[in-house]
Amino acid sequence: MSTDPSSAVASSVLTFVQTGAYPDDEQTVSTTLTSTNIPSILELVSKAEEDVKAEIRTLSSSSAPSIDTWLTQATALQTSIAHSRSSARAIVEAAEHAKSLGARVHDAAGKVALLQRELEFSVGLEGVLDTLQVAAGLVDGARNALDGQELGGALEKVLNAEMVVGGLRRDGAGIGESRAVAVLGRRVGSVREGVVKEVLGVWGRLVNVDGGRVVVKREDSEAMDLETVIEALGTLGVRDGCVSRLHRELDSSVLGPRMNRSKGKNFWRVEKGEGEIRLVKSEQEGSVLDMIDDIYAIVNFISTALPRSISAQLLDTILPSLILQLVSNWLDPAMPLKLTNLETFKEITTKVEELSLFISKSEVDMPSDADLAVWLKKIPQTWLAKRKEVALADMREMCYQNIKRQKMAERIETQLVSSDDVMYADPSEQPLEEETPENGTNDEWDAGWGEEEEPQGNEAVEEEDTSAWDDEPAAEETSKGPKAEEKTQEDEEAGAWGWGDDGDEADEAEKSPAKPAAISKSPSKAKANGKAHKQQPTTKEITLRENYTVTSIPDGIIDLINQIISDASTLSSPDFPVPTIAPATLGLSTIPTLLLAMYRATASTYYTSEPAGNMLIYNDSVHLHSQLSTLLSRLSTTHPLSKRLRTFDSDIAALLPYSRRAYGREMDSQRTILSDILSSTSGFINCTAPLNAAQYSAIIQDAINRVRDVDRSWTNILSNSDRLQSLGSLVGTLLKQMSSDVLERADDPSGISEEQSKMLKSFCDNVAGLSDLFDSPTNDGEEETSNLVHVYTPDWFRFRYLGEILEASLADIKYLWTEGELSLEFSADEVVDLVQALFADSSHRKEAIRVIKRA
């Protein structure tokens, strides 16, 4: 291997050109390539080139036979390609020639089809022209017939022409859209209008409505008869319009003026003549019988004067409204509410039956509300409904009128009274003769008054209000202060109509005025040690009479119910002339219930303008209860409503809870007013301050004046016992609240000073002055009076003892506690609190407290 650097470099360059490899020799790699190296490199490369060419020539000479074969095959392939191209061109040329031939064929086929259509059109046109000629001839013939007044021929030709033109318009060749057919159609329409006009003219001459007169002719000498005209109208499609127009003309000219009740002086009747009906003036409005006759004449005229084909259609339109007007404007108002002079109504029902039978033959489909047969069947229900309506209207009118008519009513009760009752005023007095009300029976109002045993001590105070109506247990409305009404307006209305009247009896009782069942003894009858004299009481029977104010409303309600009972007797009588109303007899039993329900629901509106309106409601309800009970007891068992009205007992009984609610509303209202007045005293705090003292005095006086004002409004309204009981309840409310305020002052750590106790005592004395409201005359007829304030007023003794304690000494308080009856009204703790508030701490106070607690 040469170590010539130039040779090494040239060899490395050649190797890189041939294979792309870099030299491995570092010396060769680091040799610098200069111009001196170029010739050797070029020489070496040229030699390598020559070697490659020589090798190629060698390889080519050895491969020559194979290349010749490839060349031969390539030449043959080129020849085949040239032949294929020649064939393709021939095919394309043939295809183009075939396409040209197809176009020529299609063009020829189109020309043939066009020639065929033209031929068919020519043939069809010939037929259409013939048809048009026929139609034109029909139209001309119809016009000529119309001009010659031959309506039948004109109508026939017009109809045929319409049929021909219709066929042309339905033709599928488009002939119907041509101008000629359109022109012909307009000519046919014009001739048709002329025919319709002429036929309507004949109809107008045959059937004429004008000025309340309807004339129907059977034939027209110039044209055709009525039946032919009606048939022509139907053929031309205008018959329904003619019937509707005839209905409107009949209604405006004849039916309307005759059916409507005239408010002026123009009265009408219907007269029927030969082929006509007409309205004629009458001096007075016809009766219901006249109206039925006129309707019969109208229906009969339509049925006989007009052919069946049109009369049935006209009656279908007229009869429902005609009969409906007859029922609503004439028959229903003619139904008698008073069961006297019923012969006319009997004749009305007979004629209605005849008219109903006649109408049924016309085979008109009548709605139920316009069917006279249905009206006849519903006579009892209709009469009963009107009777109820009138009864309620009379009830409302009577209440508004009778509320101003007031009178005194008397309540009489016979009671057994113990000799130790304050009612037993004079032991030497002989018992009054037993008296009963006019009905012959004892008035059951507040039955059982005074039958309870005498309560003792504080029990009397707590139970005074519990001996309420008929000994029912009452709520503690007096011992527990005023109790506000919690019921809503809806509850009041529900109670008024009788819903929920069977509720809690105790809830009802607390709203009623309580009688003092067994009136307690006077305190003077007790010994100093607080024990009563023990003796056997005697009893005697006395009759109590009391007057109270009622309005005339109960009497009015009784009169209405008596009328209903009388009507029931009349209806059930075998001689009653109109038996169709008789089935309403039992239905009358519901009217008294409705009357009482209406009274309970609306009474508050009638009594609003009256002073002490709730107390008048209370009196009227109680009085009405008594009268109705008497009425039922007198009702004969053979009366048709006897069994039905037995169920009326519950409605009568509902009057008592209703009266109690009215009484309760009044009492709650007055208690609330008193409580509101006293609430301004703020519990008598710092009552000795000049401003407070003046204010509290004015408030106490306002409360006293309020009680006296209420007493004046209740005087002569309530009976004396009710007035005293109600006043006692109000005064008890006043006493209870004042006592509570004073006892709360005792709980104040600062106590009650001497000046405060004197001021509080003066307040109590002022309120105690209300006792004069309870002065009652004695039974011996003398001018002397007895005061029953302790009987009717809860907590009276407790309140008076409280006033005494405010100014009493310790010794007096101990005496009242140990020897008197202070322990009956106060508990030991209450008295101890008062002692501690009124007296300073001392040995005497401690001793007094010890005695009180020990006792």
pLDDT digit string, tens, across residues 251-287: 888 888 888 876 666 788 888 888 888 888 887 777 8
Is residue 96's pLDDT more than 80?
Answer: yes
Q: For 698-727, what is the mean pLDDT?
A: 91
Q: Which of 359, 229, 353 is nearest to 302 (CA)?
A: 359
Q: Give yes or no: residues 614 and 675 share one domain.
A: no
Alpha-carbon Rg for the chain, nearest whole angstrom, is 62
Q: Is residue 799 part of a domain?
A: yes
Q: Is residue 244 part of a domain?
A: yes
In the chain, what percentage of residues exceed pLDDT 90?
Answer: 13
Distances from the Cα of 596 to the Cα of 240, 395, 629, angstroms? 57, 10, 13
Q: Give the lowest-confidence range in 488-497, 682-691, 732-741, 745-754.
A: 488-497
Number of domains in the chain: 4
Buried b or exposed e, range 126-141, using 16+ CB within 10 angstroms: eebeebbeebbebbeb
Distance CA 462, CA 826 (A): 13
Give the confidence band of 171 by pLDDT, cuts at 50, 70, 90.
low
Burial class (CB in 10 A: 0-12, 13-18, 19+), 769: exposed
Q: Which residues pair with 215 in a beta bridge?
A: 208, 276
Displacement of CA 75 from its chain's centroid (Å): 113
State residue 178's pLDDT score: 64
Q: For 190-199, what is the mean pLDDT?
A: 76
DSSP code, position 253 = I
State residue 72's pLDDT score: 83
Residue after which a domain boundary falls, among 76, 97, 113: 113
367: number of Cβ within 10 Å: 11
Q: Which of 710, 727, 828 is nearest to 776 (CA)?
A: 727
Distance CA 789, CA 793 (A): 6
CA atoms within 13 A on the CB side of 682: 7
SS3 199: helix
Sign of the Cα torsion 678, 683, 684, 685 reads: negative
Q: Mind giving me the DSSP string for 286-330? A: --HHHHHHHHHHHHHHHHHHS-HHHHHHHHHHHHHHHHHHHIIII
Q: Give yes or no: residues 471 and 590 share one domain.
A: yes
Q: Mind giving me the DSSP string for 43-62? A: HHHHHHHHHHHHHHHHHHHH
Q: Is residue 265 part of a domain?
A: yes
The vertex-176 CA angle with 174 and 179, nearest 5°, equals: 100
| Owner of token pair 């005025």 | 513
Distances from the Cα of 320 to the Cα of 248, 369, 676, angstroms? 14, 9, 68
Q: Which two three-digit tokens encode residue 27?
A: 């010396």
Q: For 798-809, what is the mean pLDDT?
A: 90
Distances from the Cα of 307 to the Cα of 212, 229, 573, 761, angstroms? 22, 11, 49, 108
SS3 704: helix
Distance CA 512, CA 657 (A): 8
Distance CA 748, CA 746 (A): 5
Q: Is residue 158 part of a domain?
A: no
Is residue 475's pLDDT more than 50?
Answer: no
Q: Which of 596, 623, 575 is nearest to 445 (CA)?
A: 623
Q: Is residue 180 part of a domain?
A: no
Q: Which residue has the higher pLDDT, 495 or 557?
A: 557
Q: For 340-369, what is the mean pLDDT?
A: 83
Q: Give yes or no: residues 626 and 610 share one domain.
A: yes
Q: Which residue has the higher pLDDT, 733 or 533?
A: 733
Q: Give yes or no: residues 446 and 526 share one domain.
A: yes
SS3 508: helix
Distance CA 35, CA 49 (A): 22
Q: Is residue 387 part of a domain?
A: no
State residue 174's pLDDT score: 54
> 585-623: per-residue pLDDT in tens?
888 888 888 999 999 999 888 898 888 889 999 999 999
Is residue 450's pLDDT more than 70?
Answer: no
Distances from the Cα of 94 to the Cα of 81, 99, 680, angstroms? 20, 9, 131
Buried b or exposed e, range 812-829, using 16+ CB within 10 angstroms: ebbebbeebbbbbbbeee
Contacts of 221 (CB under 8 A, 6+ apart): none
Displacement of CA 16 from its chain's centroid (Å): 115
Q: Give the domain range for residue 808.
A: 667-854
Q: Is residue 49 part of a domain?
A: yes
Q: Give yes or no: residues 292 and 352 share one domain.
A: yes
Q: Give yes or no: residues 718 and 809 share one domain.
A: yes
Q: Which two three-digit tokens encode residue 788?
A: 């029953």
SS3 215: strand
| CB distance 473 to 448 below 8 Å | no
Q: Which of 233, 238, 213 is nearest to 301 (CA)?
A: 213
DSSP code, position 233 = H
| CB distance 465 to 477 below 8 Å | yes
SS3 221: coil
Distances from the Cα of 507 to the Cα of 502, 649, 656, angstroms? 11, 21, 13
In the chain, what percentage of residues exceed pLDDT 70?
Answer: 76
Q: Give yes or no: residues 658 and 804 share one domain.
A: no
Q: Give yes or no: residues 572 and 615 share one domain.
A: yes
Q: Give the lowest-confidence range in 170-179, 370-379, 780-789.
A: 170-179
Q: Which residue has the higher pLDDT, 519 or 549?
A: 549
Q: Which two three-digit tokens encode residue 507?
A: 């809830």
Contacts of 558 (CB under 8 A, 6+ apart): 624, 627, 628, 631
| CB distance 619 to 656 below 8 Å | no
| CB distance 465 to 476 below 8 Å | yes
| CB distance 262 to 285 below 8 Å | yes
Q: Give yes or no: residues 632 and 506 share one domain.
A: yes
State residue 778's pLDDT score: 62
Q: Which residue has the higher pLDDT, 438 or 809?
A: 809
The vertex-57 CA angle with 56 and 59, nearest 5°, equals: 65
3-state secondary structure 261-278: CCCCCCEEEEEEECCEEE
DSSP code, position 514 = P
Distance CA 836, CA 330 (A): 90
Model pTM? Answer: 0.64
Give the confidence band of 657 by pLDDT, cuts at 50, 70, 90.
very high
Distances from the Cα of 170 to the Cα of 173, 177, 235, 593, angstroms? 9, 9, 21, 76
Q: Is residue 385 part of a domain?
A: no
Distance CA 621, CA 613 (A): 12
| CB distance 253 to 215 below 8 Å | no
> 209-229: per-residue pLDDT in tens?
887 888 888 776 556 788 888
State residue 460's pLDDT score: 33
Q: Which of 137, 143, 132, 231 is nearest to 193 (CA)?
A: 143
Distance CA 302, CA 311 (A): 6
Angle between helices 810-818 and 796-807 (to 10 degrees): 150
Q: Which of 492, 496, 624 is nearest to 551 (CA)?
A: 624
- Residues found in the chain: 855
State residue 690's pLDDT score: 87
Arithmetic mean of pLDDT over the chain: 77
Residue after which a domain boundary falls, among 633, 664, 695: 664
Q: Give yes or no: residues 624 and 702 share one domain.
A: no
Residue after which a domain boundary falls, among 113, 140, 166: 113
| CB distance 726 to 733 below 8 Å | no
Q: Give yes or no: residues 672 and 659 share one domain.
A: no
Q: Mind giving me the DSSP string for 763-800? A: HHHHHHGGGGGGEEE-TTSSS-EEE-HHHHSTTHHHHH
State residue 420's pLDDT score: 54
Phi, psi angles (nearest 5°) of residue 369? -75, -10
Q: Which residues pair with 549 in a beta bridge?
A: 408
CATH number assigned to the domain comprising residue 821: 1.10.357
Is residue 664's pLDDT more than 90?
Answer: yes
Distance CA 172, CA 612 (A): 97
Q: What is the dihedral of CA 6, 7, 8, 10, to 10 degrees?
A: 90
Displacement of CA 499 from its chain's centroid (Å): 18
> 381-431: per-residue pLDDT in tens?
999 999 999 999 999 999 988 888 888 888 887 767 665 554 444 333 333
Give the confidence band of 731 by pLDDT, cuts at 50, 70, 90.
very high
Q: Which of 461, 451, 329, 358 is nearest to 797 (CA)?
A: 461
| Owner of token pair 């309340």 | 212
Q: Give yes or no: residues 657 and 683 share one domain.
A: no
